A = this chain, B = another copy of it.
Amino acid sequence: MVNSSQPVHRTARERARAEITGEIVDAARRQLAIVGAAALSLRAVARDLGMVSSAVYRYVPSRDVLLTLLIVDAYDVLGAEVEAAEAAIDRADLLGRWIATGTAVRGWGLAHPHDWALIFGSPVPGYAAPQDTIRPATRVPEVLCGIFADAVTSGRLDTALVGDVSAAVGRAMEPVRTVVPRDRVPDPVMAGGLTAWAGLVGAVSFELFGHLHNVIDDHETFFAEELRRLITLIGLR
């Protein structure tokens, strides 16, 4: 109990600090759900908590890092929900796993449109996403890569459905290869999977941002088949 005293004393203060910081983030989330990211006001958050605006700055150094906290939070909630939905499907049911993933993504977006806009919409100007956000942001793509990899090993991919990938595109995907090696998800599947992922996000964004007005009636029905179309891009159906 000699050297360990310092950590203990630290956690005492730090615990209270973390708790209040958590309350601030919670209040900010509540406000975000109502007014949106652009109108998120630090003063309003302070009011909501019954504290003075300047006091909040003791815990959150700026409005931008508050936004960062909310972004990380949103990515994590989305990631957790998607992981749970996908894990509930029989491993052999590849199409089912993709559909569960896509449906969970859309469901989360519909339930939290402002959070969706926060992470998939326009980045707030003058705001550069810090390193903290990139790891939670990879959770959903990681789930997808799991499906893609299993689809490859299952041998059930219709390679006639997907065209070849040029060497140049193979080189263009070099960065992602530090995380997902070629022998796990080969180039054509990776390329098609990325397009399917972008298509999925694009489809949900279209719906949430109102671009389907006067175009599509029953979004749910349309989206269900849209998922089936998109996954043909990796040769699955």
Any chain B CB within 8 A of the CB of A142? no
- CB A138 to nearest CB in B, in angstroms, measures 9
Which residues of the other chain, B, contact A163 by a CB distance below 8 angstroms? 225, 228-229, 232, 237
- CB A227 to nearest CB in B, in angstroms, measures 9
Any chain B CB within 8 A of the CB of A25? no
Any chain B CB within 8 A of the CB of A51? no
Select from chain B the residue with minimum beta-carbon distance to A233.
B229
Q: How many monomers of this chain does the complex have?
A: 2
Any chain B CB within 8 A of the CB of A48? no
Which residues of the other chain, B, contact A35 by a CB distance below 8 angstroms? 125-126
Which residues of the other chain, B, contact A201 by a CB distance below 8 angstroms? 202, 205-206, 211
Bound-state Cα–Cα, A166 to B134, Å: 39
Known A35-B125, A172-B217, A172-B221; further 13 A-B contacts with Cβ < 8 A: A38-B125, A120-B209, A137-B211, A163-B225, A163-B229, A169-B222, A169-B225, A175-B214, A191-B222, A191-B225, A192-B229, A194-B222, A198-B205
Chain A residues with CB under 8 Å of chain B are: 35-39, 114, 117-118, 120-126, 129, 134, 137, 161-163, 165-166, 168-169, 171-176, 178-179, 191-192, 194-195, 198-203, 205-206, 209-211, 213-219, 221-222, 225-226, 228-230, 232-233, 237
